[in-house]
């Protein structure tokens, strides 16, 4: 455990940010999975789920949680399923 005041604060901040990032990334993966299942089953709300998944992928890429090429690849795979 750090003794310096600034280092203690960084530990707290890192824990908060890590938790937030984990939640965000998990939500993104869930949205992708739901969209894939809906597209495979030709569900009526597949378009809405696809739109939500793409939005979450873009947001994760903009925040630096995933690389921009990973985001492009995920979106491309989803759009390929939609076609």
Do 75 and 32 touch, CB atoms closer than 8 A? no
Q: Report pLDDT for 50.
A: 96
Q: Please identify, in words, the CATH class of the domain defined by 5-82.
A: mainly alpha
Q: Among positive and negative, which fits the CA dihedral 13, 18, 24, 27?
A: negative
Q: How far apart are CA 80 and CA 40, in angstroms?
A: 11
Q: Report pLDDT for 76.
A: 97
Q: Report pLDDT for 5.
A: 96
Residue spans of the domains in the chain: they are 5-82
Do 57 and 35 touch, CB atoms closer than 8 A? no
| pLDDT per residue as tens digits for the range 55-73 | 999 999 999 999 999 999 9
Regions of the chain short of the pLDDT cut 70: none
Q: Report pLDDT for 1.
A: 85
């Amino acid at each position: 455990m750090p003794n310096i005041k600034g280092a203690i604060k960084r530990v707290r901040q890192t824990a908060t940010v890590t938790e937030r990032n984990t939640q965000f990334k998990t939500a993104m993966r869930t949205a992708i999975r739901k969209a894939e299942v809906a597209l495979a089953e030709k569900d009526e709300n597949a378009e809405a789920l696809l739109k939500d998944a793409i939005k979450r992928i873009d947001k994760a890429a903009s925040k630096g949680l995933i690389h921009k090429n990973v985001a492009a690849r995920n979106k491309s795979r989803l759009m390929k399923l939609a076609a």
